[in-house]
Amino acid sequence: MTSFREVATLCEALAQTGSRRALAQQVADFLANVDEESVRPAVRLLLGQAGRGEAAVSGATLWPVLVRLIGSDRVPPRLQHEAVDFGQAVERLLRERPSGPEPPVLSVREVEDRIRALGRERGPGSRGRKERLLADLFAQLTPLEAKYVAKNLIREMRTGAAEGVVLDALALLAGGDRRAVERAHQSLGDVAEVAARVLASRGQPLPPSTLAYFRPLRPMLAQSAESASEAVAVFKGRAGIEEKLDGARVQLHREGEICRLYSRRLLELTPSLPDVVTAVLQKLAAPAVILEGEVVPVDGAGRPLPFQELMRRFRRVKDVERLVGEVPVRLQLFDALQVGDASLLDCPYRERWTILERVRGGLPTVRRLVPEDAAAAEAFYGRAVADGLEGVMVKGLEAPYTPGVRGRGWLKVKRATSVDLVIVAADRGYGRRHGWLSNYHLAARDDETGRFEPVGKTFKGLTDAEFRAMTERLSALAVGEEGATVFVEPRVVVEVLFTDLQRSPTYRAGLALRFARITRRR
């Protein structure tokens, strides 16, 4: 079987390659020699998708485990903060390990199985069990292997070979038929599965792919627009405008008496939302469909509650019955992807909405309007914001559904509140922000105590030049350090846009900003 050492060596070579064409060729050359049983785990490990998110581990959890593994007295000062990224820091740390026998050669399947085992550890004592699993795994890895296992765990590969490059590579193996590979990816929603099919069909045309019930596909994504009128203008007035609810996007698959729900990250939510499943089975007017909607928490009067309330429900498998009563939710539909055996992906949005209205039965849809002009679009947006919603989605009436693509078929317009805050600390950056102070701790002044109370962090909104200038300014104001965080005098004031406030046990103020970004320095 293909070894993980081969994957790590490939990843290191990719990280040194600048040309997209060269990246695709290297990936194609590698995959051409991968055995059938190793294709799927090899692709997932290459993309940083091993464990599909359930086994994700933070750097703050992993680092102490590795320090104990090699002995804390052998850790060079500032090693973690001087590395380009966390993976490089792990590699350098493991090079400080006392010399011993060469670690065993693990297959890609063995490594992925061990990563997945982390995701199965839940409940009391799970942290300790995870740490033991991590220590056992990293004890059997070379420093280079450890680098890319760590990158898988924290979901930050940064090799240059993202999904698009892997699809380019698969197109090379499929005789250059990029369109067939794209269609397979849209239908299957899984690059690893596409790779398995391409390699199984080498020398022959790629067989057509169809949507399958209970195999979730990646959601279509939206770009941003500054205003509803600007968004409608992009589509020359041929657009629908929908309320953007502050909930969680779900993809529901119903076939007969079986219904399953999936998150936007394709994780199954069915056990956590039995009330939604019951509503679908009782009220939906079609026996077999794949639909999309938003699950929102509501109070006793049916009014939406803050998004944070929904997190008490998501992916919970214990006390579900009690939580159903404490945090009721409502499903509101907004798209139809398949009815019966007929895929709707290539149908225009206007047609998909008509079909959705036909099959939804007693389930509600999001509120929607096809505006006559820009003024009507702005009025709809104003009502949505007045009702406490996030904003609106503007969708071209002729736009097909493109899974996993952040195209111009959908545009989102989100409300934002402006506030002036002061930077009280900043984190040292990784990756392309290495060498910069780039994650800024934002604080507001408490009128009663005079203290500056942190209310959130953000690294969004600045250009590279502004990052460099901010790093220089904050470095001159530094008053202390703790780990990767540099504390500074509270002198730099920035204007910050955010979409909402939520309760926070992390901050003494008890509040935190959602989706904060800096717009300018005051």
Q: What share of the chain is helix, strand, coil (3-state, %, to 5)?
A: 40, 25, 35
Measure the CA–CA gap between 349 and 514, rounded to whole angstroms: 30
The residues pairing with 64 across neighbouring beta strands, listed in sequence order, are none
Q: Running DSSP on this structure, what letter comes out for residue 121?
A: -
Active-site residue flag, 244: yes
Helix H or strand E segment including 452? strand 452-458
* Catalytic-role residue among 147, 151, 244, 414: 244
User: What is the rounded CA–CA span in Å between residue 175 and residue 163?
Assistant: 19
Give the torsion sign (CA, 225, 228, 234, 235): positive
Dist. CA 136–CA 143, nearest whole Å: 14
For residue 495, count other CB atoms closer than 10 A to its CB: 15
H/E stretch holding 421 reads: strand 417-428
**Phi, psi (degrees; rounded to nearest 5) at 429:** -80, 155
Neighbours of 300 (CB within 10 A): 6
Q: Which DSSP letter does residue 277 get?
A: H
Do the bridges between strand 391-396 and strand 239-244 make them parallel or antiparallel, or are there none, so unpaired?
antiparallel
Who contacts 199 (Cβ-Cβ below 8 Å, separation ≥6)? 31, 32, 34, 36, 39, 173
Euclidean distance between CA atoms 174 and 168, whole angstroms: 10
Q: At CB < 8 A and 24+ separation, what contacts does 61-68 make?
A: 61/127, 61/130, 61/131, 61/134, 62/90, 62/134, 62/150, 62/153, 62/154, 63/89, 63/90, 65/131, 65/134, 65/135, 65/138, 66/90, 66/93, 66/94, 66/138, 66/146, 67/93, 68/135
Please tell me the distance from the alpha carbon of residue 86 to that of residue 59, in angstroms, as a whole number.
Answer: 7
273 — phi, psi (to 5°)? -125, 55
- How far apart (Å, rounded) are the C-alpha atoms in residues 443 and 210? 50
Dihedral pair phi/psi, residue 277, rounded to 5°: -60, -45
Q: Which residues are catalytic?
A: 244
